Copies of this chain bind each other. A is one copy, B any other.
Amino acid sequence: MSQGPTARLLLSAPDRPGLVAAIANFIYDNAGDVTQADQHTDEEEGMFFQRVEFRLEGFKLSREEIPAALGEVAAPLQMAWRVRYSDEDRRVAVLASRQPHCLVDLLGRWHCGELPGRLVMVASNHPDHAELVQRFGLPYHYLPVTPESRSRQEQALLGLLAEAKVELVVLARYMQILSDRFIERYPSAIINIHHSFLPAFSGGHPYHQAHARGVKLIGATAHYATAELDEGPIIEQDTARVSHRDGVADLARTGRDLETVVLARAVRLHLTDRVLVHGRKTIVFA
């Protein structure tokens, strides 16, 4: 069906007449073959958002020519835009701590060819997963942290990420708080999984909190990391039913399946260029 690489155009602009027509004409005039298009008008904010995916085969402009041509269309309409290609090499790092399930799930998906990106490294403040990760042929960087070494460890981590040309950092139950400097280095490019239905049970030990409150559902939330802990734009969430029978360990076990699936969905949405961030919210063109 979807043979050949596609271009994915993501746009946002102050809402005004003619935005859709401008882009539609740009693509039509260049003989573009649209495979998927989606748009959203936020009437409160007066903002327009669009995602258009079109085949590169037969398109009159080359990848090199697209930016300038698009810029000409976009500038008078005050459009912010970016374009990515389905065959780009998207380099992904996973950071983990003790708990293996999200890391193992991502390794498994990568092995099955389900990850629309390339895992290039795993780093952890624990040595536990070295052997497993190496079995999958990936470098494992063990970077222990103490209160004193925190800043140095982060610096080392940033160095490794830069060297590996990572563009997406996945926090697969990474239990270290990242500094503002780190987060600013990867804007809307660090995805964290929080093991609750945010904003409920933000902070530490959400399953303990959930158990103490006696909720009848537990949740998981994948969001972009921002300077404010657990407050970043939400990409994906889901919930699962629990009962009075479930102790904290049962909540955690049920929750692990939620966490892996919600995180994997968010990573896929990000890597297929389906997520736009506006303020503290996301537009997800699923």
Indicate if the CB atoms of B24 and A20 lie closer than 8 Å: yes
The smallest C-beta distance from A111 to any residue of chain B, in angstroms, reads 6
Indicate if the CB atoms of A20 and B41 lie closer than 8 Å: no
- Contacting chain B: which of A117-125, A148-156, A276-284? A276-284
Residues of A202-230 at the interface with B, using a CB-CB cut-off of 8 Å, are: 213-217, 219
Indicate if the CB atoms of B1 and A249 lie closer than 8 Å: yes
Indicate if the CB atoms of A36 and B41 lie closer than 8 Å: yes
Q: A114-B253, A241-B241 are in contact. Are A21 and B17 (CB under 8 A)?
A: no
A176 at the interface (CB under 8 A from B): no
A167 at the interface (CB under 8 A from B): no
Indicate if the CB atoms of A237 and B261 lie closer than 8 Å: no
Q: A24-B25, A112-B104 are in contact. Are A282 and B38 (CB under 8 A)?
A: no
Indicate if the CB atoms of B244 and A283 lie closer than 8 Å: yes
Q: For A112, list chain B residues within 8 Å (CB).
A: 100-101, 104
Indicate if the CB atoms of B214 and A233 lie closer than 8 Å: yes
Indicate if the CB atoms of B40 and A245 lie closer than 8 Å: yes
Number of interface residues of A (CB under 8 A): 71
Residues of A62-121 at the interface with B, using a CB-CB cut-off of 8 Å, are: 100-101, 104-105, 107-108, 111-112, 114
Interface residue from B28, B111, B239, B286 paired with A104 (Cβ < 8 Å): B111
A234 at the interface (CB under 8 A from B): yes
A61 at the interface (CB under 8 A from B): no
The smallest C-beta distance from A27 to any residue of chain B, in angstroms, reads 7
Indicate if the CB atoms of B282 and A214 lie closer than 8 Å: yes
Interface residue from B17, B238, B245 paired with A217 (Cβ < 8 Å): B238
Task: Identify 16 new A-B residue pairs, CB closer than 8 A, beyond the known A25-B25, A217-B237.
Answer: A40-B244, A101-B114, A104-B108, A111-B132, A199-B213, A214-B280, A214-B282, A215-B234, A216-B236, A217-B239, A239-B239, A243-B284, A243-B286, A244-B283, A244-B284, A257-B264
Chain A residues within CB distance 8 Å of chain B: 1-2, 17-18, 20-21, 24-25, 27-28, 31-44, 100-101, 104-105, 107-108, 111-112, 114, 132, 135-136, 197-201, 213-217, 219, 233-239, 241, 243-245, 247, 249, 253, 256-257, 261, 264, 280-284, 286
Chosen A-B contacts, 28 in total, with CB atoms closer than 8 Å, are A1-B249, A17-B28, A17-B31, A17-B32, A17-B33, A18-B28, A21-B24, A21-B25, A21-B27, A24-B24, A25-B25, A36-B245, A101-B112, A104-B111, A104-B112, A105-B105, A111-B132, A197-B217, A199-B213, A213-B281, A215-B234, A215-B237, A217-B237, A217-B238, A217-B239, A239-B239, A244-B281, A261-B261
